[in-house]
Structure 1
């Protein structure tokens, strides 16, 4: 299973998101220190879920990091997160 697919599956199971966008940014970091060359090391995640309602940005990031802890130990070197509650969706992702 690809790292991107694993991220999608884990986030979907944990948060039942209304919207989920995962962008593989690894090509921008080819040759950088810490980039393993697998093509799946740097990601940007945009997720909208009711689970984030009433949570601070820090709490939301911690929630996502906890769900993806296993991937963050291994293949994922960098992760940019934008986590929103549905009522915040009027703002562009």
Structure 2
């Protein structure tokens, strides 16, 4: 696992204590993309946490961005997020 993936995973685990967390580096799918030239990556996250219960999709995404903090400007160019509370369908 790359250090970026590990840092993303650690930040999300610390913030949300998820029951499910999958973090993928999708950067290879965006080779040649203008945003990939600066070295930041494209990632996808699937996260299930009780912390998302009762929150809108927008609030969940904002919470994930906040948990990742500075990495959103230094390491991550694009982030696809699937954030659910336990028991919610995929």
TM-score normalised to structure 1 length: 0.89
Q: How does 1:12-27 map to 2 (within 5 A)?
A: 12-27=13-28
Structure with bigger strand share is 2
Query: What root-mean-square deviation, in Å, do the aligned CA atoms of Structure 1 and Structure 2 show?
Result: 1.5
The count of aligned residue pairs is 89
| Secondary structure of the corresponding residue to residue 77 of structure 1 | strand
* Structure 2 counterpart of 1:11: 12
Does the 8 A contact of 1:17 with 1:49 survive in 2? yes
Unaligned runs of 5+ in 2: none
Q: CA deviation at 1:37?
A: 6.7
| Secondary structure of the corresponding residue to residue 79 of structure 1 | strand
Does the 8 A contact of 1:49 with 1:86 survive in 2? yes
Would you say 1:32 and 2:33 are equivalent positions? yes
| Secondary structure of the corresponding residue to residue 54 of structure 1 | coil
Unaligned runs of 5+ in 1: none
Q: CA deviation at 1:5?
A: 0.5
* Structure 1 counterpart of 2:62: 62
Cα gap change, 1:5/1:36 in structure 2, threshold over 3 Å: closer, same or farther? farther
Q: CA deviation at 1:69?
A: 2.0
TM-score normalised to structure 2 length: 0.92
Distance in 2 of aligned mates of 1:37 and 1:16: 31
